[in-house]
Amino acid sequence: MKKTVSYIVLLSTLVLLLCPILSSCGSDESSTLYVFNWGEYISDGSEESLNVNEEFEKYCLEELGLNVTVNYSTYSSNEDMYAKISSGAAVYDVIIPSDYMIQRMVVEDMLAPLDISKIPNYENVDEAFKGENVYYEDDSDNIYSVPYFYGMVGIIYNSDIVSEEDIAAQSWDLMWNENYSRDILQFNNSRDAFGTALYKLGYDVNTATDEQWIEALSTLKGQKDLVQGYVMDEIFNKMKSNSAAVAAYYAGDFLSMYEDNDSLAFYYPAEGTNRYVDAMCIPKNSENYDLATEYINFMCSKEIAIANAEYTYYASPMKTVRNDPEYQSCMEEVHPDAMDILYNNAENVKATPYMNLSPERLSFVNELWEELKVESSIGTGVTVLCWIILGTLVVLVVVHTVKKRRRAKYYD
């Protein structure tokens, strides 16, 4: 489906909605805004969609008198984003971490408080994502984030490959089903991967004991021989092309994959799953605080929020998006149950957010994750080595046989 929205009056509407923060800047000034976001997580102009970053640049030039360039780069996991920012390897002005990572970065004093008075479009955010409902920020009067998208993790499966019997329980057990050995994809990040095991075992993903985390590691090790790969963005091509049959991933991304492969189906596991919020933040070392604030306000405007929601297929925390008839029709064209998957049914799912773990717990989990991944690498390496040795032996046998025949022919 071609993702399109009517943008004829976009700029004129934005003029009314967006409050100029940088009005004192001269028209000859230029700035670069560094934005760090998840992959495939913004309307970028492809497939006839709106290029949001280009629209922001136009808005800044025409309404603020600023020559702005958006330098946009992506990451594949919260942990990768955190590692890059905490190391000082790069400085960004806007980042979009998940809830538990925001909580960690607030504790570590890595985020700047937001001036909500300069984000008038914050009024478009549903009350469910404000105030005491922002479980991932501290109890101070400061606000460090504005929600961007939210959603839950579920299981994606290929209905042409997976039997009805195997999905009857709507369980995490499908990720460990030997009928789909080497056709299963697991998360390539520690929190989500361990989450699948902890939910399967019935443990709390935030308060699990050391023994329960170790049991989760054992469960993931038991899955290892069934797993085709540990993936993040690679999942798209694998599921779209029928290269894999089962995967745990985010609901919004299921809809994107379904658009290219209608054999795919989805469910939320009965044992429970993760509910997350990804939100826009400004790192404390940002060199463009005011411009970053303007960008966040721009992203919360109705037209831009709809454009992003129609492109990514994630659930929007903006009430102006969810209640828009054109948006609802667009999502129903993608999948007849899209609104139920993203919003309606999601409200009845047993789900919990990830909370920030203590430094000691994080270190412990990282050690367990490394143990799993190193063992996986060793297992793969041993398999490859065995094939190399076998191949070498075959070649030696063939060479020896040929030489023997040649000698026999010579003496004859």
pLDDT in tens, 165-209: 999 999 999 999 999 999 999 999 999 999 999 999 999 999 999
In this predicted model, which residue has the larger pLDDT, 306 or 1? 306
pLDDT band at 405 (very low <50, low <70, confident <90, very high): low
Residue 150 has pLDDT above 70, yes or no: yes
Q: Of 207, 158, 155, whose CA–CA distance to 356 is shortest?
A: 207
Arithmetic mean of pLDDT, 140-147: 93
Looking at 14-23, 143-152, 237-246, 397-406, which range is the least confident one? 14-23
Residue 71 has pLDDT above 60, yes or no: yes
Domains of the chain: 10-145+281-323 (3.40.190.10), 151-275+357-372 (3.40.190.10)
Residue 268 has pLDDT above 70, yes or no: yes
Per the prediction, the chain carries an average pLDDT of 89
Arithmetic mean of pLDDT, 14-30: 50
